[in-house]
Amino acid sequence: MMTVITDNLPVFVVIAPLFVAFILPTFARRLRLVEGLVIIANTLWIAGAAYLASIVLSQNGIPITYALGGWQAPWGIELKAGSLGALFILIIAGVSLMVSFFARNNLTEEVGSYERVARFYVLILLLGGALAGMAVTNDLFNVYVLVEIATLSCCGMVSARKHARAAEAAFTYLILATLGSILVMGGIGFIYIITGHLNMAFASQELGRVWQNSPHVVWMAFSFFLVGFGVKAAVFPLHVWLPDAHSTAPAPASAILSGLAVKGYLICLLKILYNVFGQTLMQQYAVQRILVIVGTLTIMAGSILALTQDELKRRLAFSTVAQVGYIFFGFSLINTKGLSGALFYLVSHAVIKSTLFLAAGAMISATGEGKISGLAGIGRKMPITVAAFTVASLGLIGIPLFSGFIGKWYLLLGSMEAGSVIPAVVIIAGSVLCAAYLLPVIRVAYFEPTPEVDVKDPGLSQKVALIVLAAAVVILGILPGPFMELANMAATELLVLK
């Protein structure tokens, strides 16, 4: 019995949310039932993810492989739940559980009617399933399909509000993201043409032998993947769609889009760079230099653009661009410290940014004011929400004892080990800028005089979600334990392969 569960875990964590997503529309008229089902599905999902993580930890990072439909590796689609997959699925499941708690009793005013709320949950679960799939898949074309599922459900979430701006942001996002997926598909095509394999491990072996026969094709594949995933993960010159899309979406959607969706594409890029091309080819084609330049530019540009925004959600959206820069830069460091730092930063940013967006959403829906100046004195009326916002901000800035610090610290150590000084300076400068754009919000919220208006306090489930997420930021900062261990294992595994 136990082995049946263990053997099927890699596919369970992908199928669970997808399955529930497709039965939800039948209950669309009964909102309580839909919300209950989503929370049950998420709880089961996180239980599966935690069990998977504990197995991977106890096996010292040896992955569980699963052949879909019983077709073995070079022919069939293979799922491989290693430490990287377990880490990422755990964080997706955790954040989506909290977000679905937050969304209870809260979505109808933002989205419109009951039926639309049910459809919105369908999109959240589809996105979760697609991201979990990206974390465990070991097949290149499967990556493309999952990327498309994720993109379409993200676009659906962005357009969920009945607002002309939402449709416009969704259209821009859809066109640019499809452009990105076409490039990704092209890159997969190049790899398939020269290696004849779609399985990452087999393609990587074959690529190691044949790349010298067709160096230009490898070059094209690299550039297609970098630009394709770059558009989707919103690195600096390609980030134009992100601020509109993430700030016009309803609050739970922005939390998931900023916290999780962007990370899925980064994980895919990481897997393709390290598991398919391998570090030898990366060094041969100077890819890590491109990653360093793009990463540092993204950190600086995102932070400076965030400083200029008056709207709270837009400021947070630009801050996401900056944090993607950190992770992108971390991918360039071909050493364990840098890579595990990047992965831990990815995890901690997922938690922090979803807290920030949820708290911002609660504040905005309470005051009806999207501008930062409109939040004067709100800290005294909504103590829990603003406290969660403050904790998450401190985490994002990278104060010790909060989770952002550990990621940034390892990134710094990694960049020192790689001998690059300028990026290290940029990391610290990014932290200072981060303080410069987040602390004023907290100052306004706590220390400005309160105007005499009624503020609607968020409900119990919203408060619970915010408290749990803020607690997670602190706990990850004090006791990173298993998460850091998983990140470390994943980094070692990525570097050992080839």
Partner 1 sequence: MKILLEKLIINYPYFAAVILFIIGALTVLTRSNLFKKLIGINIMESGIFLMFVAAGNIRGGAVPILEEGSSRSVYINPLPSALMLTGIVVSVSVTAFALALILRLYKEYGTTDARRIAEIRSGVLKK
Residues 188-247 that bind partner 1 (CB under 8 A): 189, 192-193, 198
Confirm or reject binding of residue 159 to partner 1 (CB under 8 A).
yes
Distance between CA atoms of residues 410 and 405, nearest Å: 9
Distance between CA atoms of residues 49 and 9, nearest Å: 8
Structure-block tokens of residue 311: 């709207």
Residue with token string 């992770």: 327
Q: Which one of residues 10, 129, 156, 295 is an interface residue with partner 1 (CB under 8 A)?
A: 156
State the nearest-atom distance from the C-beta of 165 to partner 1, in Å: 8
State the nearest-atom distance from the C-beta of 193 to partner 1, in Å: 5
Q: Which residues contact 270 (CB under 8 A, 6 or more apart)?
A: 84, 331, 494
State the nearest-atom distance from the C-beta of 15 to partner 1, in Å: 18
CB contact at 8 A, 341 and 398: no
Distance between CA atoms of residues 313 and 375, nearest Å: 12
Q: Which is nearer to partner 1, 122 or 406 (CB)?
A: 122
Confirm or reject binding of residue 112 to partner 1 (CB under 8 A).
no
Structure-block tokens of residue 361: 């959403």
Q: Which one of residues 114, 171, 219, 446 is an interface residue with partner 1 (CB under 8 A)?
A: 171
Distance between CA atoms of residues 352 and 471, nearest Å: 10
Q: Which one of residues 33, 73, 115, 168 is an interface residue with partner 1 (CB under 8 A)?
A: 168
Q: Which is nearer to partner 1, 167 or 475 (CB)?
A: 167
Q: Which is nearer to partner 1, 178 or 205 (CB)?
A: 178
Residues 126-145 that bind partner 1 (CB under 8 A): 141, 144-145
Q: Which one of residues 47, 62, 182, 460 is an interface residue with partner 1 (CB under 8 A)?
A: 182
State the nearest-atom distance from the C-beta of 223 to partner 1, in Å: 13
Element (H, E) at 208: helix 200-210
Total residues contacting partner 1 (rule CB under 8 A)? 26
Q: Which is nearer to partner 1, 171 or 219 (CB)?
A: 171
- Measure the CA angle with vertex 306, ends 260 and 319; round to 5°: 20
300, exposed or middle or buried, with CB in 10 Å at 0-12, 13-18, 19+? middle
Site string for partner 1, 83-102 (x = CB under 8 A): --------------------
Structure-block tokens of residue 129: 């399933």
Which part of the chain contacts partner 1 (CB under 8 A), choosing from 83-91, 155-163, 334-342, 384-392?
A: 155-163
Q: Which is nearer to partner 1, 42 or 159 (CB)?
A: 159
Q: Which is nearer to partner 1, 161 or 463 (CB)?
A: 161
Confirm or reject binding of residue 264 to partner 1 (CB under 8 A).
no
State the nearest-atom distance from the C-beta of 278 to partner 1, in Å: 23
Element (H, E) at 81: strand 78-81
Which part of the chain contacts partner 1 (CB under 8 A), choosing from 81-89, 182-190, 350-358, 428-436?
A: 182-190
Q: What is the DSSP letter of 199?
A: B
Distance between CA atoms of residues 146 and 149, nearest Å: 5
Which part of the chain contacts partner 1 (CB under 8 A), choosing from 113-121, 128-136, 165-173, 346-354?
A: 165-173
Q: Which is nearer to partner 1, 50 or 145 (CB)?
A: 145
Q: Which one of residues 18, 19, 27, 186 is an interface residue with partner 1 (CB under 8 A)?
A: 186
Q: How far is CA 17 from CA 49, 96, 130, 154, 160, in A?
A: 12, 10, 9, 15, 20
Q: What is residue 83's three-state secondary structure? A: helix
CB contact at 8 A, 187 and 219: no
Handedness of CA 339, 469, 31, 110 (dihedral sign): negative
Confirm or reject binding of residue 426 to partner 1 (CB under 8 A).
no
State the nearest-atom distance from the C-beta of 328 to partner 1, in Å: 24
Q: Which one of residues 37, 87, 107, 170 is an interface residue with partner 1 (CB under 8 A)?
A: 170
Element (H, E) at 484: helix 481-496
CB contact at 8 A, 427 and 358: no
Which part of the chain contacts partner 1 (CB under 8 A), choosing from 54-62, 176-184, 376-384, 425-433?
A: 176-184
Q: Which one of residues 11, 57, 73, 179 is an interface residue with partner 1 (CB under 8 A)?
A: 179
Distance between CA atoms of residues 214 and 222, nearest Å: 13
Confirm or reject binding of residue 33 to partner 1 (CB under 8 A).
no
CB contact at 8 A, 266 and 229: yes
- Interface residues with partner 1 (CB under 8 A)? 141, 144-145, 148, 152, 155-156, 159, 164-165, 167-168, 170-171, 174-175, 178-179, 181-182, 185-186, 189, 192-193, 198
